[in-house]
Amino acid sequence: MCGIVGYIGNRVASEVILKGLQRLEYRGYDSAGIAVINDDIKIVKVKGKVNMLVSLADDHNVSGHMGIGHTRWATHGEPNDVNAHPHTGATGKFALVHNGIIENYDVLRQDLEQKGHMFTGETDTEVLAHLIEEIHEMSDHDFFHSVQQALLQVEGTYGIAVIHKDNPDRIIVARKGSPLLIGVGENEHFIASDASPIIEYTKKVVYLEDGEMAVITSDGYEVSTLKDVLLTKEVHELAMSLEQIEKGGFPHFMLKEIFEQSDTIADCMRGRLMVHENRIQLGGLDGVVEKLANARRVIIAACGTSWHAGLVGEYLFEYLAHMPVEVEYASEFRYRQQLIDERDVMIVISQSGETADTLAALREAKKRGAMVLGICNVVGSTIARETDAGVYTHAGPEIGVASTKAFTAQVTILTMMAMLMGRETNVISDDYMRKLVKELRSVPAKIEEILKDTSDIEAIARLFTYAPNFLYLGRSYNFPVALEGALKLKEISYIHAEGYPAAEMKHGPIALIDEHMPVVVIAATDHTNDKMISNIEEVRARKGRLIAISSDGQSGVARHAEFNITIPEVHDCMTPLLTAVPLQLLSYYIAVNRKCDVDQPRNLAKSVTVE
Ligand code: F6R
């Protein structure tokens, strides 16, 4: 969702904040703003991208050594200059940036209006700015306690940073449901909603937890609860590097991240896929392996692409470990009749580790006694911290809004977990394990092979750049990949696309097929080969434009399809790790041809921290 950056120290605050907002822009990009204190509070904000804010800030004098900034993904109020953050109250003495949703903003607003407050926009955040001001003006609360008292009246979620003209030596921050961290420097401190804006200045961070507030000055920080209990916080060392969050010569982050996948999968397996010992070692699951293997059922909860990875996980756990698995949209899980208890294990999957719906499912499952395991990419994220145990994907920062390398890393972890479970449940013999280990180990090189020459995919993308619809079909392990391929195309090129289990085509979608309909068939699994060839024929008979993804050994598919993208052969259960890659590239090249903003597609945000 939205991104927050703040700075206090000796540097020019606006430089740190604007650069930070550019790094955070993948979180939201419909408007942006900055407030700095230099005698008075100076605010510049604008509808549009951070670049527009940068040029506008150049025209205004936003000098000063402390300030806050925000990049917005609209929830309440359309994206425009007025609704952009920072927001102020009537006197303009406070400025506030906010991620999350103030659910009772309407009641609070009416109450404030009765007290004479006039509002300029429609956002819930503006209400909070007025509320802080009202408390400060009408009571003897200092800056910190005015913010605290306001937050005690608020229902909903927030990550906030507030500055006050009369207290130019401090920024007050607070968190409930929306991530916020403090970057610790030498005589300077930073705040941010994730680590990317501060990594070039410091690697030392303190994560705020829900219900915590902090006073941040250039010399230090003091964290307490909303009830004034002082806390001693652990300082964490960030593992990410600046290089990881830059484009490294690629035109887009998405392309860079697609091309990183042979490395990220290798990183994901490092120290975990023990080839010589013929076993899987997942340190994050030490002590819980037996409980997982004996679970009455495993419930995987996630959203979007991570949910698709979860669907692949279902096939893997069932096939390799004979374990019953259900995959739930995290957003639906919490509204279902809750039949989960301590006999079950939930696995939550999240790249960002901050997705509000996934976090809510996790908390619901824990409340009911289930053990919850996490598969997360962002180290130290809320989901990673709240799960009982878990495994990091170690894919490095994913900046492109459309998820690519996180998906294949999640599937790699799920494959290793399923193999581990297969040994635990005695489904996988020594010999079979050896074969699986060897196959999984071969995946990074095979991805490199796919990426060596993308000209076929680029040519297909050129042909279908202006197709209004796409159909994606897959079976078994590759049915979720069909869903993922369709999602990638929708997200970044705005072409309507649907993914289906191939056999379901006959039950409806076949009516859509004519000579204008591109149909992508993911046919790379051997055990469904013949059935996929039948589906291909059904599409051809209706003049559909057939693009097949098949493996080296499937000459049958290649012969029947109009276009064929070949991937190296790999064990059926690992094909999603390969088939996902050409589909990511296809959607990328189509989106580029259509001149879409690949890394920041309209209406989307990287990390969805509202429900
Ligand atoms: C799609 C995409 C989203 C995310 C979803 C969950 O490309 O990125 O669908 O997969 O918002 O996000 P995480 O994995 O951060 O929980």
pLDDT 10s digits, 125-144: 999 999 999 999 999 999 99
Question: What stretch of H or E contains 376?
Answer: strand 371-376
Q: Is 609 in the pocket of ligand 1 (CB under 6 A)?
A: no
Q: How far is the CA of 172 from the centre of ligand 1 (A)?
A: 30
171-176 and 158-164 as β-strands: parallel, antiparallel, unpaired? Answer: antiparallel
pLDDT exceeds 90 at position 506? no
* Residue 339, pLDDT score: 87
Report the mean per-residue pLDDT for the chain.
Answer: 93
What pTM was computed for the model? 0.86
Q: How far is the CA of 371 from the centre of ligand 1 (A)?
A: 23
* Ligand 1 pocket test, candidate residues 403, 481, 598, 606, most atoms within 8 A of CB: 403
- The ligand 1 atom at the shortest distance from the C-alpha of residue 307 is 10
Question: What stretch of H or E contains 443?
Answer: helix 430-452
* Residue 77, pLDDT score: 78
The answer to whether 291 and 371 have CB atoms below 8 angstroms apart is yes
The answer to whether 353 and 381 have CB atoms below 8 angstroms apart is yes
Q: How far is the CA of 350 from the centre of ligand 1 (A)?
A: 7
Q: Is 304 in the pocket of ligand 1 (CB under 6 A)?
A: yes
What gap in Å lies between CA 192 and CA 35, rounded to an integer? 15
- The ligand 1 atom at the shortest distance from the C-alpha of residue 308 is 10
pLDDT exceeds 70 at position 1? no
Query: Higher confidence at residue 163 or residue 511?
Result: 163
The answer to whether 422 and 428 have CB atoms below 8 angstroms apart is yes
Average pLDDT over residues 519-531: 85
* Ligand 1 pocket test, candidate residues 381, 608, 610, most atoms within 8 A of CB: 608
Three-state DSSP state, 401:
coil
pLDDT exceeds 80 at position 148? yes
Q: Is 584 in the pocket of ligand 1 (CB under 6 A)?
A: no
Q: Is 306 in the pocket of ligand 1 (CB under 6 A)?
A: yes
Q: Is 524 in the pocket of ligand 1 (CB under 6 A)?
A: no
Asked if the domains 3-238 and 453-599 are classified in one and the same CATH topology, the answer is no
Q: Is 303 in the pocket of ligand 1 (CB under 6 A)?
A: yes
Catalytic (active site) residue 2:
yes
What is the token pair recorded at 29?
């990009």
Residue with tokens 């997942």: 282
The answer to whether 447 and 577 have CB atoms below 8 angstroms apart is yes
CATH code for residues 248-450: 3.40.50.10490
Average pLDDT over residues 47-69: 90
Range in 51-60, 305-314, 412-421 with the lowest mean pLDDT: 51-60
CB atoms within 10 A of CB 602: 11
* Ligand 1 pocket test, candidate residues 1, 26, 253, 303, most atoms within 8 A of CB: 303
Average pLDDT over residues 346-357: 96
Q: Is 330 in the pocket of ligand 1 (CB under 6 A)?
A: no
What gap in Å lies between CA 88 and CA 185, rounded to an integer? 28
Asked if the 453-599 domain carries CATH number 2.40.50.40, the reply is no
* Ligand 1 pocket test, candidate residues 253, 305, 376, 407, most atoms within 8 A of CB: 305
Average pLDDT over residues 220-227: 96
pLDDT exceeds 80 at position 528? no
pLDDT 10s digits, 463-493: 999 999 999 999 999 999 999 999 999 999 9
Q: Is 387 in the pocket of ligand 1 (CB under 6 A)?
A: no
pLDDT exceeds 80 at position 340? yes
Q: What is the Cα gyration radius of the chain? A: 25
pLDDT 10s digits, 99-108: 988 999 999 9
Q: How far is the CA of 605 from the centre of ligand 1 (A)?
A: 9
Q: How far is the CA of 487 from the centre of ligand 1 (A)?
A: 10
Q: Return the domain boundaries, the chain.
A: 3-238, 248-450, 453-599
Q: Which residues contact 2 (CB under 8 A, 6 or more apart)?
A: 27, 28, 70, 71, 72, 73, 85, 97, 98, 99, 193, 605
Question: What top-level class would CATH report for the domain 3-238?
Answer: alpha beta
Catalytic (active site) residue 606:
yes
Average pLDDT over residues 60-83: 88
pLDDT exceeds 80 at position 553? no
Beta bridge partners of 158: 176, 177
pLDDT 10s digits, 235-292: 999 988 888 888 888 999 999 999 999 999 999 999 999 999 999 999 999 999 999 9
Three-state DSSP state, 528:
helix
| Best CA proximity match to 263, nearest among 451, 478, 419, 402 | 451
* Residue 105, pLDDT score: 92
* Residue 534, pLDDT score: 85
Q: Is 351 in the pocket of ligand 1 (CB under 6 A)?
A: yes
Among candidate residues 42, 256, 490, 606, the one labeled active-site is 606
479-493 and 304-321 helices, crossing angle to 10°: 170
Q: Is 608 in the pocket of ligand 1 (CB under 6 A)?
A: yes
* Ligand 1 pocket test, candidate residues 252, 257, 331, 351, most atoms within 8 A of CB: 351
Q: Is 355 in the pocket of ligand 1 (CB under 6 A)?
A: yes
Q: Could you write out the DSSP letters of every residue in 48-69?
A: S-HHHHHHHHHHS----SEEEE
pLDDT exceeds 80 at position 64? yes
Q: Is 305 in the pocket of ligand 1 (CB under 6 A)?
A: yes
Phi and psi (nearest 5°) for 85? Answer: -90, 160
pLDDT exceeds 70 at position 90? yes
Three-state DSSP state, 163:
strand
Q: How far is the CA of 513 from the centre of ligand 1 (A)?
A: 30
* Amino acid (1-letter code) at residue 92: G
Phi and psi (nearest 5°) for 35? Answer: -135, 130
Q: How far is the CA of 351 from the centre of ligand 1 (A)?
A: 7
The answer to whether 465 and 513 have CB atoms below 8 angstroms apart is no
Q: How far is CA 85 from CA 2, 52, 81, 558, 597, in A?
A: 10, 14, 9, 54, 23
Residue with tokens 């953050």: 85
Q: Is 402 in the pocket of ligand 1 (CB under 6 A)?
A: yes
- The ligand 1 atom at the shortest distance from the C-alpha of residue 488 is 7
Q: Could you write out the DSSP letters of every residue in 269-310?
A: HTTTEETTTTEE--GGGTTTHHHHHT-S-EEEEE-HHHHHHH
Band of residue 59 on the pLDDT scale cut at 50, 70, 90: confident
Region of residue 170 (left: phi > 0; alpha: psi -120 to 50; beta: else): beta
pLDDT 10s digits, 396-438: 999 999 999 999 999 999 999 999 999 999 999 999 999 999 9
What is the token pair recorded at 336?
């279902």
For atom 5 of ligand 1, the residue with the nearest CA is: 304
Band of residue 334 on the pLDDT scale cut at 50, 70, 90: confident
Q: Is 359 in the pocket of ligand 1 (CB under 6 A)?
A: no
Range in 63-67, 79-83, 286-290 with the lowest mean pLDDT: 79-83
pLDDT exceeds 90 at position 213? yes
Q: How far is the CA of 304 from the centre of ligand 1 (A)?
A: 5
Phi and psi (nearest 5°) for 280? Answer: -110, 135
For atom 3 of ligand 1, the residue with the nearest CA is: 304
pLDDT 10s digits, 363-406: 999 999 999 999 999 988 999 999 999 999 999 999 999 999 99
Q: How far is the CA of 186 from the centre of ligand 1 (A)?
A: 35
* Residue 359, pLDDT score: 95
Q: Is 196 in the pocket of ligand 1 (CB under 6 A)?
A: no
Phi and psi (nearest 5°) for 150? Answer: -65, -45
Q: How far is the CA of 171 from the centre of ligand 1 (A)?
A: 31
For atom 11 of ligand 1, the residue with the nearest CA is: 304
What gap in Å lies between CA 195 and CA 183, rounded to an integer? 8
pLDDT exceeds 90 at position 2? no
Three-state DSSP state, 82:
coil
Q: Is 381 in the pocket of ligand 1 (CB under 6 A)?
A: no
